[in-house]
Amino acid sequence: MNTHSGELGQPVRQVIVGEGNAGQRIDNFLHLQLKGIPMSRIYRILRRGEVRVNKGRIRQDYRLRAGDVVRIPPLRYGSQPRVVRPDEHGLGQLRGSVLFEDKALLVLNKPAGMAVHGGSGLRYGVIEALRALRPDAPFLELAHRLDRDTSGCLVIAKKRSALRRLHTLLREKEVEKIYLALLKGCWRGGARRIEVALRKNLLRSGERMVRVEDEGKPALTVFEPLEATELATLARVTPTTGRTHQIRVHAAHMGHPVAGDDKYGDAELNGRLRGLGLRRLFLHAYRLRFPHPDSGEMLLLEAPLGEDLRQVLGSLGVGLKAGSGSP
């Protein structure tokens, strides 16, 4: 590692990525390198191009390779790093949400409304809350992401080797993900395969939107109806790629947006379902199936549908078995 002086008399660091960090996202790498610096500031220096990899600008979701040279700018830490303590409500939500745990993995039923990490105006997310709950844990890192408003299965790696293996499984599409979604309208016909490219855009307000564009990244989602009413259809959704907002944008693209989606959804439908008790996005990561990163044994993990969403289905007259037991 080489350094030279930068602003405030602090050194600019040039960090060479080793095999142990290969496959890690740059934002998580910086979080470990910059102890005490909030994620919101880390994202700011990434957006401004102050962090460089091999002398080039990178996005916050860039995955490091062994041998990459990361330029880390000088930052003012202050006399005491500010530790964000999640509120008791957030901590309480996570205490009872563990679906599976061993020496390598921790799988949560992530609550809707909680981001997976802090930043962009959020004081904390799931990973910060977990670290607050388990201050002696040597390693806790997100293996993948869920949208803030999506509930369900979220995998946390408890050691570096498990994280690397999980990233490999995700890249090689060996992780089967199944979601439950309530979609607008009465579905006609059977399963549909939606394969259209998606591209992220940033609006003037700073809000991130994803659009269907031929120049975007390939994305594939399979929608299978479970039970339909005139107002809405409960569907099983299988994304084989993991693009941002993929399910929500693909659902809207085919004319069946996800209920409760205030970004890509239907305002009239959302209003009607609000009267039936729907207060959030009806998208739930129900099931994960993948080989254990250590043993290779196939794991099948399921997160039960929340009572709030079950009640909405009940109000629609949709059988709860489809939404809670065997989708």
Using pLDDT thresholds of 50, 70 and 90, give the confidence band for residue 4: very low
Are 17 and 65 in contact by the 8 Å Cβ rule? The answer is yes
Using pLDDT thresholds of 50, 70 and 90, give the confidence band for residue 121: low
Q: Which of 44, 72, 100 is the last residue of a domain?
A: 72
> Distance between CA 132 and CA 122 in Å, rounded?
16
> Distance between CA 71 and CA 43 in Å, rounded?
15
List the CATH number of the domain containing 13: 3.10.290.10
Residues 6+ positions from 121 with CB-CB distance below 8 Å = 40
Structure-block tokens of residue 89? 């409500």
Q: How large is the C-alpha radius of gyration of the chain?
A: 21
- Residue 156: name the closest of 142, 176, 170, 146 by CA: 142
Q: What is the pLDDT of residues 181-226, one digit of tens each?
A: 999 999 999 999 999 999 988 675 667 789 999 989 999 999 999 9
Q: Which helix (H) or strand (E) holds 299?
A: strand 298-302
List the CATH number of the domain containing 249: 3.30.2350.10
- Whether 39 and 157 share a structural domain: no
Q: What is the crossing angle of helices 26-33 and 39-47, to 10°? A: 120
Using pLDDT thresholds of 50, 70 and 90, give the confidence band for residue 114: confident
| Structural domain for 45, as ranges | 2-72
- Whether 228 and 263 share a structural domain: yes
Side-chain half-sphere CA neighbours of 148 within 13 A: 14
Lowest mean pLDDT among 6-20, 119-133, 140-154: 6-20
- Residue 109: name the closest of 146, 140, 143 by CA: 146
pTM of the full structure: 0.76
Residue 235 is predicted with a pLDDT of 97
- Whether 184 and 313 share a structural domain: yes
Using pLDDT thresholds of 50, 70 and 90, give the confidence band for residue 325: very low
Q: Which of 133, 164, 195 is the last residue of a domain?
A: 164
Residue 324 is predicted with a pLDDT of 43
Q: Which of 72, 107, 129 is the last residue of a domain?
A: 72
- Whether 20 and 147 share a structural domain: no
What one-character DSSP code corresponds to residue 161?
H
Q: Which of 27, 68, 147, 149 is catalytic?
A: 147
Give yes or no: 147 in active site: yes
- Whether 102 and 229 share a structural domain: no
Asked whether residue 98 carries a pLDDT value surpassing 80, the answer given is: yes
